[in-house]
């Protein structure tokens, strides 16, 4: 019960890695604040998490004994973010952990000079500025208690480049920069800020993940062959499982990593070691 007595806020919690982290945290004793846009987003060419998926994540967490507050929140909306954080503090009084998991992989699939102003702005608004906005809203309560852990979910795209994914690569690199700067700002207050970089994560149907399939679609990789194709680049000859990422997030969230801040934890089956 590594998170017994703690409250964690997780964005992008309706499905995928957000759901996996939420359920794992619930099993480890945390109460949960689950946030997701719970709607589609113009400009993103695939369905985002839905209200019913968010409700299902909440139900799964409650089955493990967690108290849960779930809300539809767009991380681009400062009023919505502030309202959700205020509601979380009113319900649970403290926020011990923030997992900035909300993110989009599209619009992508074009060389840099063909990316529109709107598509570039959308990618940065969700994947970088959304994380900044959540930190800005949550940190004041952590400062009062001089304690907290923030986990920013970046990507191997935050460490290396990918062809025709300039916006995504830029955003995920930026999230690592945000992590390191925030870690220095808050280290004197025992608030830790770390980045987690998943590699190619299998789209487990149990958590309704679809990120890898969307990346494959953007690269014109046949969806029925995409796992086999991505597998060729994995030194461990295996895709990363959602549970692998949730386990790493759990360690960063809990007290076992109490002297870890400003670090980048990569879970990619060796992909970036080449």
For residue 40, what are its two tokens?
A: 């589609």
Whole-angstrom Cα distance, residue 123 to residue 145?
A: 33
Catalytic residue, candidates 46, 162, 168, 186 = 168
Is 266 strand, coil or helix? strand
Whole-angstrom Cα distance, residue 55 to residue 118?
A: 31
Question: Which residue is it, tokens 């800020």?
Answer: 193
Query: Any catalytic annotation for residue 168?
Result: yes
Whole-angstrom Cα distance, residue 107 to residue 45?
A: 7
Task: Give the single-character DSSP code of 12.
Answer: S
- What is 212-238 written as a DSSP string? HHHHHHHTT--GGGHHHHHHTT-TTSS
Catalytic residue numbers read 168
């Amino acid at each position: 019960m590594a998170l017994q007595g703690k409250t964690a806020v997780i964005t992008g919690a309706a499905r995928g890695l957000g759901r996996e982290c939420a359920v794992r945290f619930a099993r480890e004793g945390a109460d949960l604040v689950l946030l997701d846009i719970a709607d589609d987003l113009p400009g993103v060419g695939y369905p985002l998490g839905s209200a019913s998926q968010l409700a299902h994540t909440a139900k799964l967490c409650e089955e493990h004994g967690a108290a849960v507050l779930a809300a539809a929140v767009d991380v681009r909306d400062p009023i919505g973010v502030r309202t959700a954080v205020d509601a979380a503090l009113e319900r649970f009084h403290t926020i011990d952990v923030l997992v900035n998991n909300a993110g989009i992989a599209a619009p992508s699939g074009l060389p840099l000079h063909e990316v529109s102003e709107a598509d570039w702005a959308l990618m940065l608004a969700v994947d970088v500025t959304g994380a900044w906005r959540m930190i800005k809203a949550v940190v004041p309560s952590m400062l009062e208690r001089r304690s907290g852990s923030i986990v920013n979910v970046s990507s191997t795209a935050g460490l290396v480049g990918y062809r025709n994914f300039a916006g995504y690569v830029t955003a995920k690199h930026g999230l690592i920069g945000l992590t390191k700067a925030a870690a220095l700002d808050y280290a004197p207050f025992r608030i830790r800020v770390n980045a987690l970089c998943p590699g190619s994560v299998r789209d487990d149907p149990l958590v309704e993940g679809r990120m890898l399939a969307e990346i494959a679609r953007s690269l014109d990789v046949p969806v029925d062959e995409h796992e086999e194709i991505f597998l060729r680049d994995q030194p461990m000859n295996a895709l990363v499982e959602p549970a692998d990422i949730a386990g790493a997030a759990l360690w960063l969230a809990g007290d076992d990593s109490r002297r870890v801040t400003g670090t980048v934890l990569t879970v990619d089956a060796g992909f970036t070691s080449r």
